[in-house]
Amino acid sequence: MPSYLPDEDVWRYAPAPVARGWRRLAVVGPLVAVLVAVGAVGVALQARSQDTRGTLDDPRVTRMVAQACGIMTSAVAQVRVDGPARLRGAQLADQNLEVRRMIDRVRTLSPAVRRADRPLEAWLTDWETLLAAREQYARQVSGGFRGDFRPPTAADGSGLEQRMDRAAQGTCQVPATLVDPFAYQDVSV
Which one-letter DSSP state was computed for residue 3?
-
> How far is CA 171 from each of CA 69, 113, 188, rounded to the nearest angstrom?
8, 17, 29
* Nearest partner of 142 among 84, 99, 189, judged by Cα: 84
* 159 three-state secondary structure: strand
Query: With contact defined as beta carbons under 8 Å apart, do 189 and 146 qualify?
Result: yes
Query: Does pTM surpass 0.75?
Result: no
pLDDT tens column, 115-163:
988 899 999 999 999 999 999 999 999 999 888 999 999 888 888 999 9
Question: Mean pLDDT across the stretch 155-181?
Answer: 91
Report how far residue 72's alpha carbon sits from residue 62's, in angstroms, rounded to the nearest whole number.
15
Report how far residue 27's alpha carbon sits from residue 79's, in angstroms, rounded to the nearest whole number.
73
- The Cα diameter of the chain in Å comes to 128
pLDDT of residue 41: 84
Q: What amino acid occupies position 79?
A: V
pLDDT tens column, 40-90:
887 777 656 555 567 898 999 999 999 999 999 999 999 989 889 999 999
Residue 130: count of CB within 10 angstroms of its CB = 21
* Nearest partner of 137 among 106, 181, 169, 72, judged by Cα: 181
Query: With contact defined as beta carbons under 8 Å apart, do 105 and 124 qualify?
Result: no
Question: Mean pLDDT across the stretch 17-31?
Answer: 77
Report how far residue 127's alpha carbon sits from residue 160's, in angstroms, rounded to the nearest whole number.
9
Question: Computed over its alpha carbons, how large is the radius of gyration of the chain?
Answer: 33
